[in-house]
Structure 1
Amino acid sequence: MGSFSIWHWLIVLVVVLLLFGRGKIPELMGDMAKGIKSFKKGMSDDEADDSKTVEHRNDETVNSSKEKASKS
């Protein structure tokens, strides 16, 4: 009852091939690869956008809304 024998794996392979068909599995893997590439591209685009849009100056300070209300 430990591991599966080679016959178990062959039966599983036959069932998978019957369910998905011979041409469907490579198509699914190709779609998965495209999705991963798209995800990586999106992540790198986000990192590039973040580094471009954030700009800080040392001489500026940010006042909270409470400080603004107390001065008024």
Structure 2
Amino acid sequence: MKRELAREAMNLVIVTSMVSLISAYGQMGANGTQGWLFKSKLLGSLWIDSLPGAAGLVLMLMIPLYAVRFLLNRRAKA
């Protein structure tokens, strides 16, 4: 049970990180003439700023799935 819970938590962290990274990349200017170092610093700061929003989005979308899974598991044990 603990391994399964740790695996699910790791999956949620990976999904949250990817959603946040995509959001940060979307906030960057497409036609910027800055160098790679500036762009990577900008992307890093935007990624950190968008983490809470991405975590909220992932949790809102995943709570119903896990609730159904939990209730079906309890029903199968009973």
Q: TM-score, normalised by structure 2?
A: 0.38
Q: Which has the higher contact order (CA 8 A, sep 6+)?
A: 2
Q: Which has the larger radius of gyration?
A: 1
